[in-house]
Chain A
Amino acid sequence: MHNFTLIKTKGDPGRTVNSLLAGLVEKELVQGVLTLAVGPFSSLPMPSLLCSIEQIKNSSPLAPAAGVSAAVHAARISRGPEKFRTAAVLRPCELRALVELAKLNQARLENLVLISMECPGRLENRRYLELRSEHPDLDVDYYLHPDLQAEASGTCLSCTDFIPEYVHLGICLLGLDLKQEIGISWHQEQGEELARVMEFVSGQESDSRRQAIKELEAARKNAWLNLQEKTAQEISTPEGLQKAIGDCLGCFNCQRACPVCFCRDCVSSREAFEQDPEELYDRGARKGSLRLPTDLTMFHLTRLAHMAHACVGCGQCSSVCPSRIPLADIFRTTGASTQEELGYRPGRSPDEPVPLVRFSEEKDT
């Protein structure tokens, strides 16, 4: 790859990224930065819109956590008029979600500088806090110690899409000595433009980097295949599905946390709470008893039917489920086959049309 350069880190890759982001604002390329930051009152790094250089320099763009998906917020911010241009630092999965949202008119990519990183995975929120109490420098240590990375969420550990695709600036972390340097790659016209202004000098990528990527790919792929198989085996029977979602509370957290679920008000949440007593009795009488809230199977299947093709595999649904339902496993497994059926890869490019309204004129089949 030609559009690649190395930047010295002086021990803290996060800080290097910070000054890069600050540079974007200083050079007036963007008005603000959306990235993770620990606020004065929060303990978790949370997506934040940072406008002051000082705040940007204190942010944690590489923190291995994602309290919520930043995609939704990037989308919202981008919907303003042109004068608000934002640099959004997103994980690859968040970036894919953002691209999906853009296709559905929920985001305007032209108002964003898209920055993403090679992602070794994120920790679940609780686990992040626990580990940080042991490793005060967790945001740096995480990248240096493979055993810390092994603590990442199950979804991440079986994620094969850890390299961002539709991006302007990529932060390269794999196969590098991050104490010394990080890599920056740039893509598309916008990326070229940024590289010119930021005066990046094209350099060579090392073999060790390529090797590291390959190794990670292999390990992830293996984990993913195992997970798929396990999910298909354990869940895809009527009983299996009932067992899996048996403890669903009907809190709709999964739907709210899902970055690609874009409806203003989910049809299922309306449905589950709009039945009148007569109806409930009627249904109860038919089967002897009625689980409340009702229609949760319908809810989950609807969500699958609506969103499986667009599932970017971020794992937020599993992370937020109080009943620990392996929602992401179900979604990703279903999504993989739906996406294959429809020849669709969510988040690859905003020019790839949403499959459910794209139909072939082909007469037979």
Chain B
Amino acid sequence: MNQNVRALVIGAGISGIRAALDLAEAGHSVLLTEKALAPGGLLLSLDRQFPDNHCGLCRILPGDITGRVWNACMRRGFGHPDIEYLPGVEVLDIQGTPGNLSALMNRRGLKVDPQKCTGCLECLKVCPVSQPYPLAPGLGQCKAVHPSAPHKPDNWLSINPDACTLCGKCMEVCPTGAIHAAEGNGPESMDKLSLAVLATGVEYFDPQLHNHLGCGHWPDAITSLDFERLISGVGPTRGVLRRPSDLGKVRKAAWIQCAGSRNLKLNADHCSGICCMIALKQALLAREKGMQCALFYMDLRTPGRNWQKYLNQAQQKGIRLIRCRPHSIVRDPGEDSLRIAYAPAPGEQRDENFDLIVFSVGRDPGYKLPAWAGQEGVIVTKGSERVLDIAGSLIAASAAAGRALRSFSDSCAQPGGEAYVSEHEHIHPSVLVVGGGPAGLSAALSLAEQKTQVVLVEKKDHLGGHAIKSMVPEVREQVLELRDKVQKHPEIEVLNEARLQSCTGPAGRFVARLLDARGHKREVKHGAAILACGTNPSRVETEDPRIINVFDLPEKLLSPDAPGNSSGRTVFILCSGTRREPADYCSKVCCQLALRQAIEIRRLNPESEVTIFYRDIIVQGDDEQLYTRARSDGVCFIPYLPEKPPVFQAGEKSVTVQGVDPYLKEDLQIEADRLILASGVIPESASDLARIFDIQSTEHGFLKEADVKYRPLDSVRAGIFVCGSGRNPVLAGEAVLEGEAAAQTALSWLARGRRNWPGSFVRVKTALCSLCAMCLQACPFKARYPDEHTGAMAVDALACQGCGACIAVCPNKASAWAGQEEEEMHELE
């Protein structure tokens, strides 16, 4: 195993753990530092996460059943032979060059040795400090010495170095001498690091500091982070929702969105991206406990394939959605609850009382990366720049791990070499990438730059997908650059106009059959496949040149004789084909495209009028600035309700668009010179690919991943990965990131072929097997296949994760644990 790479990963939240695992699984040695004691970061306080409202954190573990790797719930711990975990360590600075970095670290404060600590908690009694409880600052105080994480035993105490006064009282009372100044306390330098990944995550907005709507003044107005602790089974109230002020029962709760985001006064012209989903989740969890829930919002942002459904579910469960930003919160004398005052429409004043108010906080507008983050050789995960959901953070982390490795790829581990598990079960050290859009290109290039052979197949006669026509110059340039590099790279073979026909073989020894551009048959052996097919714009059925698909507009916009270009009125209707059945998902790309176009139209012709009918403007992160800009440029935005979408009629002189004025509740009519429809995208080739590669697809035909939160780019089949818009609509930049992440995930898988894999934990007693194939249906990872030679089922050792489903379902135990007889399982004596 190539251990000449020594990687530093800073931050042991899920991003850091993911990056560390990716590096370690690819065969490198990793140092993982964490400021706190317990690994897990924010996830330690999120018991349940959207969209399934459960956990599943353990699924980020590599599925390694050899016993090398921690194989239990990560809330209890974490371990990997190639990862050295350094808790209580803060990185202060990094210097040097890629391949030879040195980091200045600080081991901080006092430490409690879990080996010696008996959990008597004497120290807690004497500690003079009182600090806000680190996981939930709004929910009260604790001592400087406190339990390290909700799930950790009492002998896992941390001392917050920022709060600790070093008075030494705890050391005096500790009966076992478990508390000591950490060895090597203080700054220390670590040299000869090959690369560093910064995965500390962002800081969250603290409404108290800004006295945002009186938060801080009212104990019952808390942040969404505090709420997670309040509803947690291991939180201060053991999961019973109580008002922090008087522990009274909560009957009614309200969420106020965009606290510290989308707020120009706070200089926060960004959308934090996931607070809408977090709020919906929290409301759903509260609803489960019988609470009445209301959500105050401006736009409910549910981008992509899955979240619209989640929103529908929330509405079905009776969560009230109020489109409006409350202007004040007060408590009336003699009342226990807080009163929210708001104006849902101009001149319409309302108020309502709630027991609990939750501020949905996002990235602190003042948050900045440390200065050394810009150091060459230090790769910053996207999740440390903006708030991302779980899948997003993991994707960003894998991509960062890949970028870090590529930053000095010469000394990287070489795939190939002895790629053997046993003679029969090696993984072919090459990857088939399907789809030449931004995701596919970036996957191919990342793989090639890490010395892995790639065959890239593309249906069309050119690479780059729709992105090469993008309106955004940076995107165009990025994709064109990728395309050039891919076309020139010696490790990559590009097959344009190729048609895939089948892919067979056990995991790691796949054989794809395809027809190349000339119609010749080709067989491609590969160890992994990355399915990166994109989406296509859905068609707008019209002959009328004035009615235009938002995806066709850029070209038409630039041509001087385009209708209505010189002056007149342009109307956009967003979500005209999506976010309702039969395409009940968000295409994610249309909103930002429409905003850019609206801005451009106004720029080209300041006389023109632009109106946008929308349900929710769904842009995230800094794309929020497009929205701000469009509004200040005089674009008129009119929200509509899904049950009353605007209708249009093409007349002789103009296209008449009829909608409803949301405030006056009156009909509203616009004679437009040009109507632009955002009809959304459809994953045209995804379900075919899913069939060819024997993986699942969603009801709307997107490629389905193994687990939408924790294994976003894996399919259920080992060695087959999915990314890009064909899985879940993404912007071009995100597609590039997903491609890189998928490449990294694929490389970890290929590396498995170079490790000594012990074979499967299950076996088939061929003489007993009647080929009923029940196990084949039961195996969640498609690790079983009929073996022609033995006439019995066989197990694909590299795909098997040892779940035992096949054994439970096999009636006569032809399927059995490898090291064990069935009879032994029953020996109860």
* Given A264-B769, A267-B822, A271-B823: A354 and B811 interface contact (C-beta under 8 Å): no
Which residue of the partner chain B has the closest CB to A295? B826
Q: Whole-angstrom distance between the alpha carbons of A207 and B792 in the complex?
A: 52
Decide if A351 is an interface residue (CB 8 Å cutoff): no
Decide if A200 is an interface residue (CB 8 Å cutoff): no
A106 partner residues in chain B, CB cutoff 8 A: 770, 772
Q: Whole-angstrom distance between the alpha carbons of A354 and B822 in the complex?
A: 24
A354 partner residues in chain B, CB cutoff 8 A: 774, 777
Q: Whole-angstrom distance between the alpha carbons of A303 and B768 in the complex?
A: 17
Which residue of the partner chain B has the closest CB to A357? B777
Q: Whole-angstrom distance between the alpha carbons of A354 and B811 in the complex?
A: 13
B716 CB, nearest partner CB in chain A, Å = 13
Q: Whole-angstrom distance between the alpha carbons of A266 and B829 in the complex?
A: 23
> Are A306 and B811 in contact, CB atoms less than 8 angstroms apart?
yes
Decide if B245 is an interface residue (CB 8 Å cutoff): no
Q: Which of A237-274 contact B (CB under 8 A)?
A: 262-267, 270-271, 274
Decide if B767 is an interface residue (CB 8 Å cutoff): yes
Which residue of the partner chain B has the closest CB to A363? B52
Q: Whole-angstrom distance between the alpha carbons of A267 and B777 in the complex?
A: 21
Query: When each residue 141-171 of chain A gets 1 if its CB lies under 8 Å from chain B and 0 otherwise, what string results?
Result: 0000000000000000000000000000000
Which residue of the partner chain A has the closest CB to B812? A263
B774 partner residues in chain A, CB cutoff 8 A: 104, 354, 356-357
A283 partner residues in chain B, CB cutoff 8 A: 829
Query: When each residue 259-294 of chain A gets 1 if its CB lies under 8 Å from chain B and 0 otherwise, what string results?
Result: 000111111001100100001001100100000000
Which residue of the partner chain B has the closest CB to A271? B823
B767 partner residues in chain A, CB cutoff 8 A: 264-265
Decide if B325 is an interface residue (CB 8 Å cutoff): no
B827 partner residues in chain A, CB cutoff 8 A: 279
Main secondary structure of the interface of B (DSSP, over half): loop
A105 partner residues in chain B, CB cutoff 8 A: 770-773
- Among A264, A282, A363, contact of B768 (Cβ-Cβ < 8 Å): A264
* Given A267-B822, A271-B823, A357-B778: A262 and B770 interface contact (C-beta under 8 Å): yes
* Given A282-B829, A283-B829, A363-B52: A267 and B812 interface contact (C-beta under 8 Å): yes
Chain B interface residue count, Cβ-Cβ cutoff 8 angstroms: 21
Which residue of the partner chain A has the closest CB to B786? A105
> Are B811 and A267 in contact, CB atoms less than 8 angstroms apart?
yes
Q: Whole-angstrom distance between the alpha carbons of A357 and B812 in the complex?
A: 16
Q: Whole-angstrom distance between the alpha carbons of A286 and B829 in the complex?
A: 10
Q: Whole-angstrom distance between the alpha carbons of A264 and B767 in the complex?
A: 8
A290 CB, nearest partner CB in chain B, Å = 12
A308 CB, nearest partner CB in chain B, Å = 12
B512 CB, nearest partner CB in chain A, Å = 27
B822 partner residues in chain A, CB cutoff 8 A: 267
Q: Whole-angstrom distance between the alpha carbons of A262 and B770 in the complex?
A: 8
Decide if B813 is an interface residue (CB 8 Å cutoff): yes
B826 partner residues in chain A, CB cutoff 8 A: 271
Q: Which of B792-829 contact A (CB under 8 A)?
A: 809, 811-814, 822-823, 826-827, 829
A364 CB, nearest partner CB in chain B, Å = 10
B811 partner residues in chain A, CB cutoff 8 A: 263, 267, 306
B777 partner residues in chain A, CB cutoff 8 A: 353-354, 357
Task: Specify which of B770, B809, B826, B827 lies most central, judged by the most chain A CB atoms within 10 Å of its CB.
Answer: B770
Q: Whole-angstrom distance between the alpha carbons of A283 and B829 in the complex?
A: 8
B773 partner residues in chain A, CB cutoff 8 A: 104-105
- Among B52, B812, B823, B829, contact of A264 (Cβ-Cβ < 8 Å): B812
A262 partner residues in chain B, CB cutoff 8 A: 770, 772
- Among B768, B778, B809, B829, contact of A265 (Cβ-Cβ < 8 Å): B768
B812 partner residues in chain A, CB cutoff 8 A: 263-267
Query: When each residue 63-90 of chain B gets 1 if its CB lies under 8 Å from chain A and 0 otherwise, what string results?
Result: 0000000000000000000000000000
B778 partner residues in chain A, CB cutoff 8 A: 357
Which residue of the partner chain A has the closest CB to B776? A357
Which residue of the partner chain A has the closest CB to B769? A264
A58 CB, nearest partner CB in chain B, Å = 35
Q: Whole-angstrom distance between the alpha carbons of A283 and B767 in the complex?
A: 30
A20 CB, nearest partner CB in chain B, Å = 34
> Are B813 and A267 in contact, CB atoms less than 8 angstroms apart?
yes
Which residue of the partner chain A has the closest CB to B770? A264
B762 CB, nearest partner CB in chain A, Å = 16
A279 partner residues in chain B, CB cutoff 8 A: 827, 829
Which residue of the partner chain B has the closest CB to A265? B768
Query: When each residue 321-365 of chain A gets 1 if its CB lies under 8 Å from chain B and 0 otherwise, what string results?
Result: 000000000000000000000000000000001101100000100
Q: Whole-angstrom distance between the alpha carbons of A263 and B770 in the complex?
A: 6
B814 partner residues in chain A, CB cutoff 8 A: 263-264
Query: When each residue 345-378 of chain B gets 1 if its CB lies under 8 Å from chain A and 0 otherwise, what string results?
Result: 0000000000000000000000000000000000
B769 partner residues in chain A, CB cutoff 8 A: 264
B771 partner residues in chain A, CB cutoff 8 A: 105
Q: Whole-angstrom distance between the alpha carbons of A306 and B812 in the complex?
A: 10
Which residue of the partner chain A has the closest CB to B822? A267
B52 partner residues in chain A, CB cutoff 8 A: 363
A283 CB, nearest partner CB in chain B, Å = 7
A100 CB, nearest partner CB in chain B, Å = 11
Task: Specify which of B768, B812, B814, B827 lies most central, judged by the most chain A CB atoms within 10 Å of its CB.
Answer: B812
A270 partner residues in chain B, CB cutoff 8 A: 823
Query: When each residue 374-404 of chain B gets 1 if its CB lies under 8 Å from chain A and 0 otherwise, what string results?
Result: 0000000000000000000000000000000
B813 partner residues in chain A, CB cutoff 8 A: 267
> Are B809 and A357 in contact, CB atoms less than 8 angstroms apart?
yes
A301 CB, nearest partner CB in chain B, Å = 13
Which residue of the partner chain A has the closest CB to B52? A363
Query: When each residue 204-218 of chain A gets 1 if its CB lies under 8 Å from chain B and 0 otherwise, what string results?
Result: 000000000000000
A306 partner residues in chain B, CB cutoff 8 A: 811
B809 partner residues in chain A, CB cutoff 8 A: 356-357
Q: Which of A83-116 contact B (CB under 8 A)?
A: 104-106
B82 CB, nearest partner CB in chain A, Å = 36
Q: Whole-angstrom distance between the alpha carbons of A353 and B827 in the complex?
A: 33
Which residue of the partner chain A has the closest CB to B821? A274
Which residue of the partner chain B has the closest CB to A303? B811
Query: When each residue 120-158 of chain A gets 1 if its CB lies under 8 Å from chain B and 0 otherwise, what string results?
Result: 000000000000000000000000000000000000000
Q: Whole-angstrom distance between the alpha carbons of A363 and B811 in the complex?
A: 27
A286 partner residues in chain B, CB cutoff 8 A: 829
Query: When each residue 556-596 of chain B gets 1 if its CB lies under 8 Å from chain A and 0 otherwise, what string results?
Result: 00000000000000000000000000000000000000000
B770 partner residues in chain A, CB cutoff 8 A: 104-106, 262-264
A300 CB, nearest partner CB in chain B, Å = 15
B804 CB, nearest partner CB in chain A, Å = 14
A351 CB, nearest partner CB in chain B, Å = 14
- Among B768, B823, B829, contact of A263 (Cβ-Cβ < 8 Å): B768
B361 CB, nearest partner CB in chain A, Å = 29
> Are A274 and B768 in contact, CB atoms less than 8 angstroms apart?
no
A274 partner residues in chain B, CB cutoff 8 A: 823
Q: Whole-angstrom distance between the alpha carbons of A74 and B826 in the complex?
A: 36
Q: Which of B125-168 contact A (CB under 8 A)?
A: none
Q: Whole-angstrom distance between the alpha carbons of A354 and B778 in the complex?
A: 11
Which residue of the partner chain B has the closest CB to A283? B829
Q: Whole-angstrom distance between the alpha carbons of A291 and B782 in the complex?
A: 43
B268 CB, nearest partner CB in chain A, Å = 36
Which residue of the partner chain B has the closest CB to A104? B772
Interface contacts beyond A105-B770, A264-B814: sample of 7 additional A-B pairs, CB < 8 Å, sorted by A: A262-B770, A262-B772, A264-B770, A265-B768, A267-B811, A282-B829, A354-B777
Q: What are 20 A-B contacts defined by CB distance under 8 Å? A: A104-B770, A105-B770, A105-B773, A106-B770, A262-B770, A263-B768, A263-B770, A263-B812, A264-B814, A266-B812, A267-B811, A270-B823, A279-B829, A282-B829, A306-B811, A353-B777, A354-B774, A356-B809, A357-B777, A357-B778
Closest 8 CB pairs of A and B: A263-B812, A104-B772, A357-B777, A267-B812, A306-B811, A264-B770, A357-B778, A267-B813
A contacts, CB < 8 Å to B: 104-106, 262-267, 270-271, 274, 279, 282-283, 286, 306, 353-354, 356-357, 363
B contacts, CB < 8 Å to A: 52, 767-774, 777-778, 809, 811-814, 822-823, 826-827, 829
